[in-house]
Chain A
């Protein structure tokens, strides 16, 4: 394994695969804060050179966090298909990049090698890719999942209707749900972030959304994004849940901080398959995003992007319906500005897809980072082009409970309009029945929540 190189007559030496991965990452403030990023622009390039010549087996044999120490590593390695891995283990990362981009490599080939790739290999490849590389590779992959609706079909784009309210007022939440639906947003899920995480309150919101879905015969799923243990308690007491939510991270220590483990997720999935209301078998909804491990001081010396890839390697074990990437939610200490946020979104979409996941993107920004609406819309348009499965839908792009900006109901409708994309099949029929959509385009009636009154 070669961990050194000479460029511009300068000798660069790296200490480990982990070190190479960290220094080969595009510049991000979180890696700088944990003091593992490259110290100069040329050092970053030297790390990319070394990375491009590493063989996949070098990465396999040197997981960034040891197998014995970390549950995320164990899930990734235990789920790997060794037969496929053995076929490609002598490839360099540079060769893997070219294979992915080659004309003769399509969705079937990528789906296959995906099963022989560890998350670190996928992260490594992304570090050698530019924006167009990432978008073109992402476009090749489209992963479907089935809950009550089928997500991920070509030519279709779905949204989570995110009707949060600062005090969980059910009527206020319902008002935002109606508004979202009238813009065609809500086919991925009607998902509420609760302010009050108690079982009683969460149950009330689950019942409210479920009854509304029944009353108006809306083909979608409901979810209240409380801690997974709260949702499990609600489910045991008979609350109607079609999707179970949890935030996940790429190191065991960070997942400990979130209060989750493999055992708990196994139990949650089993419970959902027995007691949940969904028609299909993809019943989990995960959220991830670069930087959570850093902000929990649980990065283990690994860069944010590699940790994010590991999160996907962990996620895929439970065959989720949705994996939503929310890079940009934390703040400038992890992603400094719009440029870093856009890069993270493109990397994450590609990495998630190469893990075989039904990925969605939430291009987000907070008010204490150096980004604005223009950056967010650029990230949104690029990832739509790259073929994300879904986005969030927040009234006017302003989440009044979580205090950050995400894609709006208007943006959702615009993304469909920009590329001629349709809502999910069952949901489009419902929109037509409601007189809100015709031939894939919003009607005059759309955008008026009072059509439900």
Chain B
């Protein structure tokens, strides 16, 4: 069996080399291709296409997509499906030097199909946090792979320092950030309870879309308790290169956390208090 795989691999490599030599290799376009025949205003069309990652200006065959844009769509969807199953790189985690905790989900399948498994820490992680987590701080940061490890890898290295710096500037105390494998948003309530922070912030990889598999979301809640509802959470989504830039997001989140601490509320309650005071 082993031999067979090596043989296949070898054949593939030889074929790839041959194709390069003979020039018989397709370089399929990854960028949007203008598919409109005889546009009314080509410059305006080009400007519009550059203004949004949305699939516009792609033209049509009858009412259907042109072949290139159809295949691009299917390629992007295939890549997004594959991205969900990727696991986080241990080297990357080591570089960041974050303590690693785990939810109760023991596999990707369990994580996907049983929400509860991702909403609670494993017993061992509970014990670790009780013993070593920083207690009684203003803010506790949780980072989680969620549905996209790529999102964490692409955004956290820029976002986290900007966020910590912004919080330090405002003299807001922060517990040491933790990484939780296969954590869902609600796990932040349990973390907040254990470390007794005022606000808990979770940075979680979003489900991969077609335009990007690197989108991160931030969820914040002020003193979650038994009466907490979903609309008590403040959410900032679409943090990625094509959305809100990670560095910008870090600075913005620091500002937002300061505001949440000021109003002692998050989510819809926070929005209403803020509107009343503006």
Show the binding face of A for B, using Cβ within 8 Å. 29, 33, 163-167, 169, 171-173, 175-176, 178-179, 183, 195, 197-199, 227, 229-230, 233, 256-259, 294-297, 331-333, 336, 366-368, 372-373, 395-405, 408, 410, 413-414, 417, 442, 445-451, 453
B208–A367 touching, CB < 8 Å: yes
Which B residues, 24 to 82, have Cβ-Cβ distances below 8 Å to chain A?
Answer: 36, 39-42, 44-45, 48-49, 51-60, 62-65, 69, 73-74, 76-77, 80-81
- Does B54 contact A33, Cβ atoms closer than 8 Å? no
Contact A450 B52 (CB under 8 A): no
Docked Cα-Cα span, A230 to B275, in Å, equals: 9
Query: In the bound complex, do residue A450 and residue B73 qualify as a contact, i.e. CB atoms below 8 Å apart?
Result: no
Residues of chain B within 8 A (CB-CB) of A296 are 230
Q: Which of B45, B230, B237, B267 meets A449, CB within 8 Å?
A: B45
Contact B229 A256 (CB under 8 A): yes
Please name all residues of chain A whose beta carbon is closer than 8 Å to the beta carbon of B84 when the two chains form the complex: 367-368
Min CB gap A265→B, angstroms: 14
Say yes or no: A396-B54 contact (C-beta < 8 A), given A401-B238, A405-B77: yes
Contacting residue for A366 out of B36, B207, B267, CB 8 A? B207
Q: In this complex, what residue of A is CB-closest to B53?
A: A400
B55 & A167 in contact (Cβ 8 Å cutoff) = no
- With A414-B63, A450-B40 known as contacts, the answer to whether A230 contacts B73 (CB < 8 A) is no
Cβ of A176 and Cβ of B56 under 8 Å apart? yes
Q: Shortest distance in angstroms between A95's beta carbon and chain B's nearest beta carbon? A: 38
Chain B interface residue count, Cβ-Cβ cutoff 8 angstroms: 59
A398 to B222 Cα, complex, angstroms = 34
Q: Return the chain B residue nearest A411 by Cβ.
A: B63
A367–B207 touching, CB < 8 Å: yes
In the complex where A233-B275, A450-B45 touch, is A395 in contact with B54 (Cβ < 8 A)? yes
Structural contact, B231 and A403, CB atoms closer than 8 A: no
User: Smallest Cβ distance from B145 to chain A, in angstroms?
Assistant: 13
Bound complex: CA of A436 vs CA of B210, how far in Å? 29
B55–A395 CB distance below 8 A: yes
If A179-B56, A403-B215 touch, whether A367 touches B77 (CB-CB below 8 Å) is yes
- The verdict on A449 contacting B56 (CB below 8 Å), with A233-B275, A403-B208, A442-B63 known, is yes
Residues of A within 8 A of B231 (CB): 227, 257-259
A-B contacts, 21 listed (Cβ < 8 Å): A33-B115, A165-B52, A166-B238, A167-B244, A172-B54, A175-B48, A195-B238, A195-B243, A229-B271, A229-B272, A257-B231, A366-B207, A367-B80, A397-B55, A401-B238, A403-B209, A408-B55, A410-B60, A450-B44, A450-B48, A451-B41
Task: Closest A residue to B42 by CB, please name it.
Answer: A450
Chain B residues in 8 Å Cβ range of A396:
54-56, 58, 65, 69, 73
Chain B residue with the shortest CB-CB distance to A184: B63
8 Å CB contact of A395 from B36, B56, B229, B267: B56
Q: Across the interface, do A373 and B73 meet the contact criterion of CB distance under 8 Å?
A: yes
Within the complex, what minimum Cβ distance (angstroms) separates A341 from chain B? 15
Most chain B CB within 10 A, of A164, A446, A447, is at A447
**B44 engages A368 (CB within 8 Å):** no
Q: Which residue of B lies closest to A332 (CB)?
A: B112
Given contacts A417-B63, A448-B45, A397 and B73 within 8 Å (CB-CB):
yes
**CA of A179 to CA of B32 in the docked complex: distance in angstroms?**
15
Q: How far is the CA of A73 from the CA of B105 in the complex (A)?
A: 35
**Least distance between B232 CB and chain A CB atoms (Å):** 8
CB pair B113–A172 under 8 Å, yes or no, is no
Q: How far is the CA of A173 from the CA of B48 in the complex (A)?
A: 9
A176/B113 in contact, CB under 8 A: no
User: Is B268's beta carbon under 8 Å from chain A?
Assistant: yes
Q: Which residues of chain A come closer than 8 Å to B121, judged between CB atoms?
A: none
Identify 16 new A-B residue pairs, CB closer than 8 A, beyond the known A398-B73, A400-B242: A169-B52, A197-B271, A259-B229, A332-B113, A367-B80, A395-B54, A396-B55, A400-B52, A400-B53, A400-B54, A400-B211, A402-B209, A403-B208, A403-B210, A404-B207, A453-B45
Bound together, the chains give a CA A372 to CA B112 distance in angstroms of 17
Q: Does B114 contact A (CB under 8 A)?
A: yes
Contact with A33, one of B51, B60, B114 (Cβ below 8 angstroms):
B114
Residues of B contacting A414 in the complex (Cβ-Cβ under 8 angstroms) = 63-64
Contact, CB under 8 Å: A175 / B56? yes
Contact A405 B210, beta carbon cutoff 8 Å: yes
Task: Tell me the smallest distance from the CB of A173 to a CB of chain B, in Å.
Answer: 7
Could you tell me the distance between the alpha carbons of A395 and B58 in the complex, rounded to whole angstroms? 9
Given contacts A165-B54, A175-B49, A256-B229, contact A199 B275 (CB under 8 A): yes
Say whether B81 contacts A367, CB under 8 Å: yes
B147 on the A face (CB < 8 A): yes
The residue of chain B having its C-beta at the shortest distance from the C-beta of A175 within the complex is B48
Contacts of A175 in B (CB 8 A): 48-49, 51-52, 54, 56
Partner of A29, one of B44, B62, B113, B208: B113
Contact in complex: B52, A176 (CB < 8 Å): yes
A443 to B41, CA, bound (A): 17
B residues 88-123 near A (Cβ < 8 Å) are 112-115
